[in-house]
Chain A
Protein backbone atom coordinates (compact mmCIF):
# COMPACT_ATOMS: atom_id res chain seq x y z
CA UNK A 1 0.00 0.00 0.00
CA UNK A 2 1.32 3.40 -0.95
CA UNK A 3 0.12 6.18 1.32
CA UNK A 4 -0.56 9.68 0.12
CA UNK A 5 1.35 11.21 3.01
CA UNK A 6 3.47 10.13 5.95
CA UNK A 7 4.25 12.62 8.71
CA UNK A 8 7.40 12.11 10.76
CA UNK A 9 7.12 13.68 14.22
CA UNK A 10 4.22 14.53 16.52
CA UNK A 11 4.96 17.97 17.93
CA UNK A 12 2.78 20.99 17.10
CA UNK A 13 4.05 20.97 13.49
CA UNK A 14 3.39 17.28 12.81
CA UNK A 15 0.02 17.13 14.54
CA UNK A 16 -1.22 20.30 12.84
CA UNK A 17 -0.15 18.84 9.50
CA UNK A 18 -2.06 15.68 10.51
CA UNK A 19 -5.24 17.67 11.29
CA UNK A 20 -5.12 19.42 7.92
CA UNK A 21 -4.20 16.40 5.78
CA UNK A 22 -6.78 14.23 7.57
CA UNK A 23 -9.48 16.82 6.92
CA UNK A 24 -8.40 16.83 3.26
CA UNK A 25 -8.99 13.03 3.19
CA UNK A 26 -5.32 12.24 2.64
CA UNK A 27 -5.42 9.61 5.44
CA UNK A 28 -2.11 10.61 7.03
CA UNK A 29 0.06 8.20 8.98
CA UNK A 30 2.01 9.89 11.78
CA UNK A 31 5.15 8.38 13.32
CA UNK A 32 5.27 9.91 16.77
CA UNK A 33 8.87 9.09 17.65
CA UNK A 34 10.19 8.66 21.17
CA UNK A 35 8.67 11.93 22.32
CA UNK A 36 4.99 11.81 21.35
CA UNK A 37 3.67 15.37 21.53
CA UNK A 38 7.15 16.84 21.13
CA UNK A 39 9.01 19.34 23.25
CA UNK A 40 5.97 20.87 24.91
CA UNK A 41 5.41 17.61 26.80
CA UNK A 42 8.40 18.45 28.99
CA UNK A 43 7.19 21.88 30.01
CA UNK A 44 4.47 23.03 32.38
CA UNK A 45 2.43 26.12 31.57
CA UNK A 46 2.28 27.35 28.00
CA UNK A 47 1.16 30.96 28.31
CA UNK A 48 1.52 32.16 24.74
CA UNK A 49 -0.43 29.70 22.63
CA UNK A 50 -3.44 31.63 21.34
CA UNK A 51 -6.88 30.47 22.45
CA UNK A 52 -6.03 29.68 26.07
CA UNK A 53 -6.48 32.89 28.07
CA UNK A 54 -5.44 31.20 31.33
CA UNK A 55 -2.59 29.24 29.71
CA UNK A 56 -2.56 25.48 29.26
CA UNK A 57 -0.24 22.67 30.40
CA UNK A 58 2.08 21.56 27.60
CA UNK A 59 1.21 17.83 27.80
CA UNK A 60 -2.51 18.65 27.78
CA UNK A 61 -2.21 20.93 24.75
CA UNK A 62 -0.44 18.16 22.87
CA UNK A 63 -2.96 15.48 23.91
CA UNK A 64 -5.66 17.76 22.56
CA UNK A 65 -3.87 18.20 19.24
CA UNK A 66 -3.45 14.44 18.87
CA UNK A 67 -7.14 13.81 19.63
CA UNK A 68 -8.14 16.48 17.14
CA UNK A 69 -6.04 14.81 14.43
CA UNK A 70 -7.39 11.35 15.29
CA UNK A 71 -10.97 12.63 15.17
CA UNK A 72 -10.49 13.30 11.46
CA UNK A 73 -8.95 9.91 10.84
CA UNK A 74 -5.21 10.48 11.23
CA UNK A 75 -3.42 7.26 12.17
CA UNK A 76 -0.70 7.65 14.82
CA UNK A 77 2.04 5.15 15.67
CA UNK A 78 4.29 5.31 18.74
CA UNK A 79 7.36 4.38 16.75
CA UNK A 80 10.64 5.98 15.80
CA UNK A 81 11.61 6.21 12.15
CA UNK A 82 15.00 4.54 11.77
CA UNK A 83 15.68 5.06 8.07
CA UNK A 84 14.27 6.86 5.05
CA UNK A 85 14.96 6.46 1.35
CA UNK A 86 14.23 9.65 -0.56
CA UNK A 87 16.08 8.60 -3.71
CA UNK A 88 13.10 6.97 -5.37
CA UNK A 89 9.36 7.40 -5.46
CA UNK A 90 7.30 6.38 -3.67
CA UNK A 91 9.49 7.30 -0.68
CA UNK A 92 10.29 4.56 1.82
CA UNK A 93 10.17 4.99 5.58
CA UNK A 94 11.37 2.27 7.94
CA UNK A 95 10.00 2.17 11.49
CA UNK A 96 9.84 -0.59 14.08
CA UNK A 97 11.36 -3.05 11.60
CA UNK A 98 8.67 -2.45 8.95
CA UNK A 99 8.73 -0.52 5.69
CA UNK A 100 6.10 1.99 4.69
CA UNK A 101 5.70 3.88 1.43
CA UNK A 102 4.25 7.26 0.62
CA UNK A 103 3.97 9.68 -2.27
CA UNK A 104 4.81 12.65 -0.03
CA UNK A 105 6.52 13.17 3.32
CA UNK A 106 6.17 15.90 5.90
CA UNK A 107 9.21 16.06 8.15
CA UNK A 108 8.56 17.61 11.55
CA UNK A 109 11.15 15.94 13.75
CA UNK A 110 11.77 19.13 15.71
CA UNK A 111 14.71 19.64 18.02
CA UNK A 112 16.17 18.14 21.17
CA UNK A 113 18.27 19.52 23.97
CA UNK A 114 21.90 20.02 23.08
CA UNK A 115 24.32 18.03 25.19
CA UNK A 116 27.97 18.65 25.94
CA UNK A 117 28.89 15.47 24.08
CA UNK A 118 31.04 13.78 26.72
CA UNK A 119 30.97 9.98 27.14
CA UNK A 120 30.57 10.34 30.89
CA UNK A 121 27.57 12.57 30.24
CA UNK A 122 25.63 10.00 28.20
CA UNK A 123 26.56 7.31 30.72
CA UNK A 124 25.08 9.33 33.59
CA UNK A 125 22.02 10.68 31.75
CA UNK A 126 19.08 9.95 34.06
CA UNK A 127 21.50 9.13 36.87
CA UNK A 128 22.19 12.69 37.94
CA UNK A 129 22.55 14.36 34.55
CA UNK A 130 19.37 15.80 33.08
CA UNK A 131 18.19 17.98 30.22
CA UNK A 132 14.70 18.47 31.65
CA UNK A 133 14.19 20.48 34.83
CA UNK A 134 10.42 19.97 34.93
CA UNK A 135 10.84 16.18 34.61
CA UNK A 136 13.60 15.63 37.11
CA UNK A 137 13.71 18.63 39.48
CA UNK A 138 11.52 16.76 41.97
CA UNK A 139 14.33 14.32 42.75
CA UNK A 140 16.64 17.08 43.96
CA UNK A 141 14.86 18.23 47.10
CA UNK A 142 17.40 19.90 49.42
CA UNK A 143 20.24 18.92 47.10
CA UNK A 144 22.98 21.06 45.58
CA UNK A 145 22.91 21.17 41.81
CA UNK A 146 24.47 22.80 38.77
CA UNK A 147 22.72 24.32 35.75
CA UNK A 148 24.87 24.67 32.63
CA UNK A 149 24.16 27.63 30.35
CA UNK A 150 23.77 31.39 30.38
CA UNK A 151 20.73 32.19 28.26
CA UNK A 152 17.12 32.82 29.24
CA UNK A 153 16.20 29.15 29.33
CA UNK A 154 19.11 28.38 31.67
CA UNK A 155 18.08 31.23 33.98
CA UNK A 156 14.47 30.06 33.91
CA UNK A 157 15.51 26.49 34.76
CA UNK A 158 17.77 27.70 37.57
CA UNK A 159 14.94 29.71 39.11
CA UNK A 160 12.49 26.83 38.68
CA UNK A 161 14.90 24.40 40.35
CA UNK A 162 15.21 26.57 43.47
CA UNK A 163 11.73 25.23 44.33
CA UNK A 164 13.45 21.93 45.12
CA UNK A 165 17.20 22.38 45.50
CA UNK A 166 18.94 24.03 48.43
CA UNK A 167 21.52 25.61 46.14
CA UNK A 168 21.75 26.11 42.39
CA UNK A 169 25.01 27.10 40.72
CA UNK A 170 24.90 28.33 37.14
CA UNK A 171 27.93 27.19 35.19
CA UNK A 172 28.69 29.67 32.46
CA UNK A 173 31.66 29.79 30.15
CA UNK A 174 31.81 33.58 29.91
CA UNK A 175 31.97 36.39 32.45
CA UNK A 176 28.53 37.75 31.63
CA UNK A 177 25.13 36.18 31.03
CA UNK A 178 23.28 36.22 27.72
CA UNK A 179 19.73 36.21 29.08
CA UNK A 180 17.36 39.19 29.15
CA UNK A 181 17.88 41.89 31.78
CA UNK A 182 14.76 40.90 33.74
CA UNK A 183 15.73 37.24 33.96
CA UNK A 184 19.31 38.14 34.84
CA UNK A 185 18.33 40.29 37.78
CA UNK A 186 15.81 37.71 38.97
CA UNK A 187 18.43 34.96 38.88
CA UNK A 188 21.41 36.94 40.19
CA UNK A 189 19.42 38.33 43.10
CA UNK A 190 18.03 34.97 44.10
CA UNK A 191 19.38 33.86 47.50
CA UNK A 192 19.77 30.25 46.36
CA UNK A 193 21.49 30.99 43.03
CA UNK A 194 25.24 31.38 42.51
CA UNK A 195 27.25 31.65 39.33
CA UNK A 196 30.47 29.86 38.42
CA UNK A 197 31.81 32.33 35.83
CA UNK A 198 34.24 31.36 33.06
CA UNK A 199 33.68 27.70 33.73
CA UNK A 200 33.06 24.64 31.59
CA UNK A 201 32.43 21.04 32.60
CA UNK A 202 35.00 18.68 31.12
CA UNK A 203 33.99 15.44 32.86
CA UNK A 204 31.09 13.97 34.83
CA UNK A 205 32.08 11.78 37.77
CA UNK A 206 30.18 8.82 39.18
CA UNK A 207 28.93 5.35 38.39
CA UNK A 208 25.34 4.77 37.22
CA UNK A 209 25.34 1.42 39.03
CA UNK A 210 26.54 2.94 42.31
CA UNK A 211 24.37 5.92 43.13
CA UNK A 212 25.01 7.93 39.97
CA UNK A 213 26.63 11.34 39.64
CA UNK A 214 28.85 12.52 42.48
CA UNK A 215 30.58 15.50 40.92
CA UNK A 216 32.16 17.09 37.88
CA UNK A 217 35.50 18.37 36.72
CA UNK A 218 35.40 22.03 35.77
CA UNK A 219 37.89 24.00 33.79
CA UNK A 220 38.38 27.73 34.20
CA UNK A 221 38.29 29.20 30.68
CA UNK A 222 40.64 32.05 31.63
CA UNK A 223 43.32 30.32 33.71
CA UNK A 224 42.78 26.80 32.23
CA UNK A 225 42.98 25.39 35.73
CA UNK A 226 40.78 22.41 36.47
CA UNK A 227 39.01 21.63 39.72
CA UNK A 228 36.72 18.93 41.04
CA UNK A 229 33.29 20.07 42.22
CA UNK A 230 30.94 17.85 44.21
CA UNK A 231 27.33 17.96 43.11
CA UNK A 232 24.13 15.89 43.27
CA UNK A 233 22.83 16.82 39.85
CA UNK A 234 23.61 18.67 36.64
CA UNK A 235 20.92 20.19 34.42
CA UNK A 236 21.90 21.13 30.87
CA UNK A 237 20.32 24.22 29.34
CA UNK A 238 22.61 25.05 26.44
CA UNK A 239 20.04 25.20 23.67
CA UNK A 240 18.58 22.80 21.18
CA UNK A 241 19.68 21.11 17.99
CA UNK A 242 17.57 19.98 15.03
CA UNK A 243 16.84 16.23 14.72
CA UNK A 244 18.01 15.87 11.13
CA UNK A 245 20.53 13.00 11.31
CA UNK A 246 18.00 10.70 9.65
CA UNK A 247 18.14 12.78 6.46
CA UNK A 248 21.89 13.34 6.24
CA UNK A 249 23.09 13.20 2.67
CA UNK A 250 19.52 13.02 1.35
CA UNK A 251 18.21 16.52 2.06
CA UNK A 252 19.95 19.86 1.99
CA UNK A 253 20.69 21.15 5.50
CA UNK A 254 22.56 24.22 6.71
CA UNK A 255 25.77 24.11 8.72
CA UNK A 256 23.86 23.77 12.01
CA UNK A 257 21.80 20.85 10.68
CA UNK A 258 18.51 22.64 9.96
CA UNK A 259 16.69 21.35 6.89
CA UNK A 260 16.72 24.04 4.21
CA UNK A 261 13.31 24.97 2.79
CA UNK A 262 12.54 27.29 -0.13
CA UNK A 263 11.60 30.88 0.67
CA UNK A 264 7.91 31.20 1.60
CA UNK A 265 7.45 27.44 1.37
CA UNK A 266 8.00 24.20 3.25
CA UNK A 267 9.47 22.53 0.12
CA UNK A 268 12.84 20.86 0.70
CA UNK A 269 15.56 20.00 -1.80
CA UNK A 270 13.66 16.81 -2.76
CA UNK A 271 10.39 17.23 -4.65
CA UNK A 272 7.49 15.80 -2.65
CA UNK A 273 9.29 16.13 0.69
CA UNK A 274 8.21 19.01 2.92
CA UNK A 275 9.58 20.17 6.29
CA UNK A 276 7.78 22.05 9.05
CA UNK A 277 8.45 23.32 12.56
CA UNK A 278 11.71 23.60 14.51
CA UNK A 279 13.53 21.26 12.11
CA UNK A 280 13.62 24.05 9.50
CA UNK A 281 13.15 27.13 11.67
CA UNK A 282 16.31 29.00 12.58
CA UNK A 283 14.44 32.07 13.78
CA UNK A 284 11.23 31.70 15.80
CA UNK A 285 11.04 28.16 17.25
CA UNK A 286 7.68 28.60 18.96
CA UNK A 287 4.75 26.21 19.24
CA UNK A 288 2.46 28.48 17.26
CA UNK A 289 4.96 29.05 14.44
CA UNK A 290 5.59 25.29 14.30
CA UNK A 291 1.84 24.68 14.06
CA UNK A 292 1.61 27.36 11.37
CA UNK A 293 4.28 25.77 9.23
CA UNK A 294 2.66 22.35 9.76
CA UNK A 295 -0.51 23.80 8.29
CA UNK A 296 1.46 25.26 5.36
CA UNK A 297 3.13 21.89 4.68
CA UNK A 298 -0.25 20.12 4.67
CA UNK A 299 -1.68 22.57 2.17
CA UNK A 300 1.41 22.27 0.00
CA UNK A 301 1.13 18.46 0.06
CA UNK A 302 -2.49 18.69 -1.00
CA UNK A 303 -1.64 21.04 -3.91
CA UNK A 304 1.30 18.87 -4.92
CA UNK A 305 -0.78 15.69 -5.02
CA UNK A 306 -3.50 17.44 -7.01
CA UNK A 307 -0.94 18.63 -9.57
CA UNK A 308 0.50 15.10 -9.86
CA UNK A 309 -2.88 13.65 -10.59
CA UNK A 310 -3.85 16.64 -12.76
Chain B
Protein backbone atom coordinates (compact mmCIF):
# COMPACT_ATOMS: atom_id res chain seq x y z
CA UNK B 1 0.00 0.00 0.00
CA UNK B 2 1.20 3.49 -0.84
CA UNK B 3 2.67 5.76 1.80
CA UNK B 4 0.21 8.56 1.10
CA UNK B 5 -2.89 6.57 1.97
CA UNK B 6 -3.96 6.02 5.56
CA UNK B 7 -5.03 2.70 6.94
CA UNK B 8 -8.39 3.40 8.60
CA UNK B 9 -9.51 1.12 11.42
CA UNK B 10 -12.46 1.14 13.80
CA UNK B 11 -10.06 2.78 16.30
CA UNK B 12 -8.67 5.71 14.33
CA UNK B 13 -11.80 6.42 12.28
CA UNK B 14 -13.06 9.12 14.63
CA UNK B 15 -9.80 11.05 14.87
CA UNK B 16 -8.57 10.64 11.31
CA UNK B 17 -11.85 10.97 9.44
CA UNK B 18 -14.59 12.61 11.50
CA UNK B 19 -12.31 15.21 13.05
CA UNK B 20 -10.26 15.92 9.96
CA UNK B 21 -9.84 19.57 8.92
CA UNK B 22 -9.58 18.63 5.26
CA UNK B 23 -11.94 16.51 3.11
CA UNK B 24 -11.39 12.76 3.40
CA UNK B 25 -11.78 10.19 0.63
CA UNK B 26 -12.33 6.66 1.95
CA UNK B 27 -11.95 3.59 -0.23
CA UNK B 28 -13.80 0.52 1.11
CA UNK B 29 -12.18 -2.63 -0.27
CA UNK B 30 -11.24 -6.27 0.38
CA UNK B 31 -8.66 -8.74 -0.88
CA UNK B 32 -11.31 -10.89 -2.54
CA UNK B 33 -12.90 -8.04 -4.49
CA UNK B 34 -11.79 -8.01 -8.15
CA UNK B 35 -13.28 -4.63 -9.08
CA UNK B 36 -11.50 -3.08 -6.05
CA UNK B 37 -8.19 -3.62 -7.83
CA UNK B 38 -9.41 -1.31 -10.56
CA UNK B 39 -10.05 1.65 -8.34
CA UNK B 40 -7.00 1.13 -6.05
CA UNK B 41 -4.40 2.71 -8.37
CA UNK B 42 -6.77 5.63 -9.07
CA UNK B 43 -7.18 6.26 -5.34
CA UNK B 44 -3.41 6.00 -4.93
CA UNK B 45 -2.90 8.66 -7.62
CA UNK B 46 -5.43 10.96 -5.99
CA UNK B 47 -3.57 10.60 -2.68
CA UNK B 48 -0.47 11.92 -4.46
CA UNK B 49 -2.26 14.71 -6.33
CA UNK B 50 -4.11 15.99 -3.26
CA UNK B 51 -1.34 15.54 -0.71
CA UNK B 52 -1.95 18.15 2.01
CA UNK B 53 -5.29 19.29 0.54
CA UNK B 54 -7.31 16.15 1.24
CA UNK B 55 -6.79 12.90 3.11
CA UNK B 56 -7.13 9.53 1.46
CA UNK B 57 -7.87 6.44 3.56
CA UNK B 58 -8.34 2.76 2.84
CA UNK B 59 -10.88 0.72 4.77
CA UNK B 60 -10.46 -3.03 4.59
CA UNK B 61 -14.00 -4.26 5.24
CA UNK B 62 -12.78 -7.63 6.53
CA UNK B 63 -10.76 -5.96 9.27
CA UNK B 64 -12.94 -2.92 9.85
CA UNK B 65 -16.51 -4.18 9.97
CA UNK B 66 -17.64 -1.39 12.31
CA UNK B 67 -17.13 1.51 9.93
CA UNK B 68 -18.54 -0.41 6.95
CA UNK B 69 -21.66 -1.32 8.93
CA UNK B 70 -22.10 2.19 10.34
CA UNK B 71 -22.31 3.65 6.85
CA UNK B 72 -24.42 0.79 5.48
CA UNK B 73 -21.86 -0.27 2.88
CA UNK B 74 -23.45 -3.07 0.83
CA UNK B 75 -21.20 -3.23 -2.17
CA UNK B 76 -17.51 -2.68 -2.83
CA UNK B 77 -15.68 -0.83 -4.11
CA UNK B 78 -17.51 2.07 -2.48
CA UNK B 79 -15.95 5.49 -2.03
CA UNK B 80 -17.17 7.85 0.67
CA UNK B 81 -16.13 11.48 0.63
CA UNK B 82 -16.33 13.16 4.04
CA UNK B 83 -16.39 16.85 4.73
CA UNK B 84 -16.47 18.18 8.28
CA UNK B 85 -17.41 14.83 9.74
CA UNK B 86 -20.31 14.13 7.37
CA UNK B 87 -20.65 12.05 4.25
CA UNK B 88 -20.76 14.50 1.37
CA UNK B 89 -20.85 11.93 -1.44
CA UNK B 90 -21.05 8.18 -1.91
CA UNK B 91 -19.74 6.58 -5.09
CA UNK B 92 -20.49 2.90 -5.72
CA UNK B 93 -18.40 0.89 -8.19
CA UNK B 94 -15.37 1.76 -10.26
CA UNK B 95 -15.59 5.20 -11.88
CA UNK B 96 -13.12 7.32 -13.85
CA UNK B 97 -10.77 9.52 -11.84
CA UNK B 98 -12.44 12.77 -12.92
CA UNK B 99 -15.69 11.83 -11.25
CA UNK B 100 -13.91 11.60 -7.89
CA UNK B 101 -11.67 14.64 -8.23
CA UNK B 102 -14.64 16.82 -9.27
CA UNK B 103 -16.17 16.21 -5.84
CA UNK B 104 -12.89 16.93 -4.02
CA UNK B 105 -12.28 20.08 -6.06
CA UNK B 106 -15.74 21.34 -5.23
CA UNK B 107 -15.07 20.81 -1.50
CA UNK B 108 -11.61 22.35 -1.56
CA UNK B 109 -12.89 25.23 -3.68
Interface: B109 (CB within 8 A): no
Interface: A135 (CB within 8 A): yes
A135 lies within 8 A of B35 (CB) = yes
Cα distance, A51 to B98, chains bound together (Å): 39
Q: Which residue of A lies closest to B37 (CB)?
A: A59
A138-155 with Cβ < 8 A to chain B: 138-140
Q: Which residues of A lie under 8 Å from residue B22 when comparing CB positions?
A: none
Interface: A12 (CB within 8 A): no
A139 lies within 8 A of B75 (CB) = yes
A212 lies within 8 A of B74 (CB) = yes
B61 lies within 8 A of A58 (CB) = no
Q: A125-B92, A127-B74, A212-B72 are in contact. Are A41 and B42 (CB under 8 A)?
A: no
Q: A79-B96, A135-B33 are in contact. Are A128 and B74 (CB under 8 A)?
A: yes
Q: Which residue of B lies closest to A58 (CB)?
A: B34
B37 lies within 8 A of A41 (CB) = yes
Q: Which residues of B lie under 8 Å from residue A96 when comparing CB positions?
A: 96, 98
Q: Which residues of A lie under 8 Å from residue B6 when comparing CB positions?
A: none
A109-135 with Cβ < 8 A to chain B: 125-128, 130, 132, 134-135
Interface: B94 (CB within 8 A): yes
A41 lies within 8 A of B92 (CB) = no
- The size class of the interface chain B forms with chain A is 20 to 34
Cα distance, A251 to B97, chains bound together (Å): 30
Interface: B93 (CB within 8 A): yes
Interface residues of B: mostly helix, strand, loop or mixed? loop
Cα distance, A62 to B98, chains bound together (Å): 25
Cα distance, A80 to B98, chains bound together (Å): 12
- Chain A contributes a number of interface residues (CB within 8 A of B) equal to 32
Q: Which residues of A lie under 8 Å from residue B76 when comparing CB positions?
A: 135-136
Q: Which residues of B lie under 8 Å from residue A41 when comparing CB positions?
A: 34-35, 37-38
A24-53 with Cβ < 8 A to chain B: 34-37, 40-44
Most chain A beta carbons < 10 A, residue from B30, B38, B76 = B38
Interface: A11 (CB within 8 A): no
B40-93 with Cβ < 8 A to chain A: 41-42, 61, 68, 72-76, 78, 92-93
Q: Which residues of B lie under 8 Å from residue A79 when comparing CB positions?
A: 96
- Select one of B37, B42, B92 contacting A127, CB under 8 A: B92
Cα distance, A233 to B72, chains bound together (Å): 12
Q: Which residue of B lies closest to A40 (CB)?
A: B34
Interface: B95 (CB within 8 A): yes
Minimum CB–CB distance for A178 against chain B, Å: 27
Q: A37-B38, A135-B76 are in contact. List 11 more A-B contacts (CB 8 A).
A: A34-B38, A34-B95, A35-B38, A63-B37, A78-B38, A78-B42, A96-B98, A132-B75, A139-B74, A212-B74, A233-B74
Residues of B within 8 A of A (CB): 30, 32-35, 37-38, 41-42, 61, 68, 72-76, 78, 92-96, 98
13 contacts between A and B (CB under 8 A): A36-B38, A36-B94, A41-B34, A43-B34, A58-B34, A59-B34, A59-B37, A126-B74, A126-B75, A127-B74, A136-B74, A139-B68, A211-B72
Closest 7 CB pairs of A and B: A126-B92, A41-B34, A59-B34, A126-B75, A139-B74, A136-B75, A36-B38
